[in-house]
């Protein structure tokens, strides 16, 4: 059973683990919001052996914030493949690139790591209903794991979310609403979330930072398992970890994992944490390039809704700066090119998930990257749930080939040319 508490990284204030959704009582982060609090563990007596081997999320229960992990709400998430595709690497000019294929998770995205842990905490704290804001994957995953945990879920979704995502949310039994005013969902949903959490007993399965209103310090712990797995699968720490980034939890979680591995004496350095974004919602890249102490706010213009928020948590800047990392972006057109490129090598991702590949390609072409780095690109979600994005990447469907053998071979040769 892990021994843990909540700690404010800003001022060091300590709090008992429990329903603390509105950050630190004593200090604010660089963006002016109540500083996020995070889970800290007593590492004394933690056996490092499980962290040397790839496993599923709950195989790393010694560093997850649940007192009793004997029966978590799991669907078998984690232990996703880490693959090196030589032909892709040659095309990109990156011989040591590895892809972490998070679409293999049960609801086809990295969000399953978050919600198996978050909903386990909700159940342990005695909650009967939860809420989440989402552009798609977050709500679909939360709906599945809320059902698994026996908790009722309200989803506040982006009206532009794909019909496939909404269909899955309904399949898993979620209640669904959406802001009626135009604009990014996150700021529009803040007032509703705040009211439902404070006055109606909802559990916020939301992101770490309090910039959205209620902030959840527990779900990000599920993202740590990406870092644990990457270390175990590679047998070492990569030089760089590239992550599609919006709120910042999926960057901060693995960063936190590498810190804990270092404290356990398993690694002696941290990878360069590198958020990757669309140029149309590039608040992290803008902040890092300008040397800002806080995360910028932008007016997002991108088809990649999963990374299309106007701002993110200050925690992502902490991860970048503590590791001498970078923050990169690429235009939407190059995200779509990256979707098609990955498809030619057998990998189907949504536009947001292609951001690391598009950004890496840009850096190589600009001569701004040491191509001998060992790089892990986290590909966060499947393109299957965003078919319109896949269509945009590959173009309109072609007609069927003729079924006459001679004409068929001629057509195949013609199209190949």
pTM given for the model: 0.95
Q: What is the mean pLDDT of residues 250-274?
A: 98
Q: Encode pLDDT of 339-385 as tens digits.
A: 999 999 999 999 999 999 999 999 999 999 999 999 999 999 999 99
pLDDT at position 416 over 80: no
pLDDT at residue 240 tops 70: yes
Alpha helices in 44-136 (DSSP H): 86-92, 111-124
Determine the 3-state secondary structure of 99 from DSSP.
Answer: strand
Query: In which band, very low, low, confident or very high, does the pLDDT at 1 lie, cut at 50, 70 and 90?
Result: low
Reported as a pLDDT band with limits 50, 70 and 90, residue 417 is: very low
Mean pLDDT of the 162-179 span:
94
Residue with tokens 């560093």: 63
> Mean pLDDT for the chain?
95
pLDDT digits over 278-306, tens only?
999 999 999 999 999 999 999 999 999 89
Tokens, residue 342:
């990955």
Q: In whole angstroms, give the CA distance from residue 98 to residue 171.
A: 34
Residue 204: enclosing H or E segment and its boundaries?
strand 203-204
Instruction: Output the six-digit token pair for 162.
Output: 């794909």
- Mean pLDDT confidence for 62-88: 97
- Taking each helix axis from N to C end, the angle separating 137-149 and 163-171, rounded to the nearest 10 degrees, works out to 10
Kindly tell me if the per-residue pLDDT of 142 is higher than 60.
yes
Q: What is the DSSP string of 112-172?
A: HHHHHHHHHHHHHTT-SEEEEEESSHHHHHHHHHHHHHT-EEEEEE-TTS-HHHHHHHHHT
What is the predicted pLDDT for the residue at 185?
Answer: 74
Mean pLDDT of 105-123: 98
Domain ranges of the chain: 82-108+223-394
| Domain covering 82-108+223-394, topology | Rossmann fold (3.40.50)
The yes-or-no verdict on residue 2 having pLDDT over 80 is no
Q: What pLDDT, in 10s, does the model give residues 29-49?
A: 999 999 999 999 999 989 999
Q: Which residue has the higher pLDDT, 413 or 2?
A: 413
Q: Mapping DSSP to helix (H, G, I), strand (E, B) and coil, where does residue 294 land?
A: coil
> CA 84, 385, 330, 244 torsion: positive or negative?
negative
Q: Alpha-carbon distance 16 to 217, whole Å?
A: 12
The answer to whether residue 396 scores a pLDDT higher than 90 is no
User: Residue 390: which pLDDT band, with cuts at 50, 70 and 90?
Assistant: very high
Q: Which has more confidence, 213 or 254? A: 254
């Amino acid at each position: 059973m892990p021994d843990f508490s909540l700690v404010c990284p800003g001022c060091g204030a300590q709090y008992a683990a429990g329903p603390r959704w509105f950050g630190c009582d004593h200090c604010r982060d660089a963006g002016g919001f109540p500083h996020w609090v995070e889970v800290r563990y007593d590492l004394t007596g933690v056996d490092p052996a499980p962290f040397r081997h790839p496993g599923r999320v709950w195989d790393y229960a010694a560093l997850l914030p649940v007192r009793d992990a004997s029966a978590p709400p799991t669907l078998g998430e984690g232990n996703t493949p880490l693959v090196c595709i030589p032909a892709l690497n040659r095309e990109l000019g990156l011989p040591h690139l590895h892809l972490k294929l998070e679409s293999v998770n049960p609801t086809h995205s990295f969000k399953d790591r978050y919600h198996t842990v978050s909903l386990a905490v909700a159940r342990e704290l005695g909650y009967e209903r939860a809420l989440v804001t989402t552009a798609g994957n977050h709500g679909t995953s939360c709906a599945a794991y809320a059902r698994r945990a026996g908790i009722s879920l309200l989803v506040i979704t982006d009206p532009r979310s794909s019909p496939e995502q909404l269909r899955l949310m309904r399949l898993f039994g979620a209640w669904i609403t959406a802001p009626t005013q135009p604009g990014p969902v996150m700021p529009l949903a803040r007032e509703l979330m705040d009211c439902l959490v404070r006055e109606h007993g909802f559990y916020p399965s939301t992101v770490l930072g309090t910039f959205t209103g209620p902030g959840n310090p527990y779900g990000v712990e599920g993202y740590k398992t990406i870092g644990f797995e990457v270390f175990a699968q590679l047998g070492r720490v990569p030089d760089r970890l590239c992550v599609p980034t919006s709120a910042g939890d999926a960057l901060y979680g693995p960063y936190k994992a590498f810190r804990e591995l270092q404290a356990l004496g398993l690694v002696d350095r941290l990878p360069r944490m590198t958020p990757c974004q669309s140029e149309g919602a590039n608040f992290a890249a803008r902040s890092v390039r300008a040397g800002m102490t806080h995360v910028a706010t932008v007016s997002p213009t991108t088809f990649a809704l999963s990374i299309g928020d106007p701002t993110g948590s200050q925690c992502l800047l902490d991860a970048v700066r503590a590791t001498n990392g970078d923050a990169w972006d690429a235009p939407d057109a190059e995200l779509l090119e990256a979707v098609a490129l990955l498809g030619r090598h057998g990998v189907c991702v949504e536009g947001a998930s292609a951001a690391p590949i598009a950004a890496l390609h840009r850096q190589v072409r600009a001569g701004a990257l040491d191509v001998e780095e060992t790089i892990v690109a986290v590909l966060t979600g499947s393109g299957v749930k965003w078919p319109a994005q896949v269509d945009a990447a590959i173009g309109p469907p072609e007609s069927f080939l003729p079924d006459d053998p001679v004409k068929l071979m001629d057509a195949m040769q013609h199209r190949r040319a």
